[in-house]
Amino acid sequence: MSKEKITYRQCVQIYQVEETFLDALHSSGLIEVVVENEDRYIEYDYLQEIEQFVRWYYELEINIEGIEALHHMLQQVHELQSDVEKLRHELKFYKSIS
């Protein structure tokens, strides 16, 4: 994870969301929040996902539980794509030695 982070307040202002939305994402385990000196921060690594979650929630009206499900399914798709790519390379290797 990146060491660079943004404050909760900045994140709320940039994405124009409620703090409760970020709290819900944190509570569901979709983002991690770092607390330092009583201030809450979000690491930059989560910002791309937060942008996606904001679109799903506000534009597509998908609730937090739906966001969790979509996020989980997308993670599985990415893992499967990696597995397929790995198997393609292995197949190409075995074809080349036969």
Average pLDDT for 38-61: 95
| Cβ–Cβ < 8 Å for 8, 22 | yes
Give the pLDDT band (50/70/90) at residue 71. Answer: very high
CA distances from 38 to 33, 44, 85 (A): 12, 19, 45
| Percent above pLDDT 70 for the chain | 98
Sign of CA dihedral 41, 47, 49, 55: positive
Residues present in the chain in total? 98
Q: In what order do the strands lie in the sheet with 5-7?
A: 5-7, 39-43, 34-36
CA–CA–CA angle 64, 69, 70 (5° rounding): 95
pLDDT of the residue at 98: 73
Angle at 27 between CA 77 and CA 3, to 5 degrees: 75
Given this model, what pLDDT does residue 5 score? 93
pLDDT tens-digit map of 2-46: 689 999 999 999 999 999 999 999 999 999 999 998 899 999 999
Percent of the chain scoring above 90 in pLDDT? 89
pLDDT band at 89 (very low <50, low <70, confident <90, very high): very high
